[in-house]
Amino acid sequence: MIRSTLPLAALVLLLTGCEGISGADASGNIQTPAAPVPTPTPTPTATATAAPAPVGLALTGDTSPVHDPAILKDGNTYYLFATGAVADREGLLATRTSTDLTAWTFRGPAYTALPAWATTAVPGTSGIWAPDIVKRGSEYRLYYSVSTFGSNRSAIGLTTNSALSLNSPAAGWTDKGAVIQSTSADTFNAIDPAVFTDAEGREWMAFGSFFAGIKLIRLDPATGLRLASEPTIHSLATRPAPGAVEAPFVVRHGDYYYLFASFDSCCQGANSTYNTVVGRSRTVTGPYLDKAGRSMLDGGGSAVLASAQGTGARYVGRGHVAILQDTAGDHIVYHAYDTQRNGAPTLQIQRLTWDADGWPVPQ
């Protein structure tokens, strides 16, 4: 259980993380945010806010509202999936496509209704949040989160498909049920999945939001579900209470595994202090260390994307990243809040290079 000296109301707000989408109501429905109400947030660490705000690609088309983007390149097409709710225009697991990473077209929802198992596991849920998309062999695996505002009664589900359809994005998906669940009896929060394969071909999923931080479990490469023979839950990153760390993403580059995570508060529109940090490890299970050698288990993390609060930047609260690795060059994909559009969550994409010491640098 979380222990904190904060008032209960403040703690509930802080524990929501990306569970409370910008402009979301208590059921998770995305709305164009009204003037945001400032809420108590942890003070950003010096390392987490030191990086300059990157410029990014000049995106066009349907790029907002986009929250918690997941991206996959398949052939010559980029597919983007994002958080959504039943009542939203975008629907559940909103799907967008592009052929050049800059011009985006909304295609519709990947799901038209919540899976029956999800509403039983998480009563009151009305949205599907924070997806991740991977392709393994000829199978597309779309992972997703279900939860409710301020709770760790949550679950990560999996749906699979043999093809991605431009005109009918909801066609062909077969829901496989829960990969992992959490309840109030657990110290972790089963949302924000990030799936990757290690150098030995083993399949893993990082996940977590607030509570006891970022966790890691083994998956069965054949099914994409949790590997029954390996029940260990590894800890990758934590911060002091109220534990403002979430939205992991792990990639392998060179001799290291890189753990990206988001610090501080998302989902407060133009007041969001969300920012992105990174650590790295030669082994999948860590420890992940930042540039100063501080473990992410001790609150460490080197700045990748600053929140941009106080700089006059149009887009602030940069976080919940996905890393697109491509032979043509890597990119960092994330959402930020548009201060000129009442804090609307908006897709952002930067080129990503790696410096001489092997650390990621957005361009």
Domains contained in the chain, number: 1
Tell me, what's the pLDDT at 289? 99
Residue 1 domain-assigned?
no
Q: Which long-range contacts (CB under 8 A, 24 or more apart) does 250-254 make?
A: 250/194, 250/196, 250/204, 250/206, 250/284, 251/196, 251/323, 251/325, 252/196, 252/198, 252/199, 253/325, 253/354, 253/358, 253/360, 254/354, 254/358
pLDDT tens-digit series, residues 215-268: 999 999 999 999 999 999 999 999 987 779 999 999 999 999 999 999 999 999
Q: Which residue range forms the structural domain that includes residue 12?
A: 8-362
CATH code at position 75: 2.115.10.20
Taking only the tens place, the pLDDT of each residue in 87-132 is 998 999 999 999 999 999 999 999 999 999 999 999 999 999 999 9
pLDDT band at 140 (very low <50, low <70, confident <90, very high): very high
**Does the residue 259 lie in any domain?**
yes
Residue 78, in any domain of the structure: yes
* Separation of alpha carbons 182 and 190, rounded Å: 5
* pLDDT higher than threshold 80 for residue 149: yes
Please answer whether residues 66 and 269 qualify as being in contact, where contact means their C-beta atoms are separated by less than 8 angstroms. no
Answer whether residue 2 is part of any domain. Answer: no
Q: What percent of the chain has pLDDT over 90?
A: 82
d(CA 74, CA 29): 30
Stated as kind and residue range, the H or E segment containing 12 is helix 8-14
Q: Active-site residues: which are they?
A: 68, 246
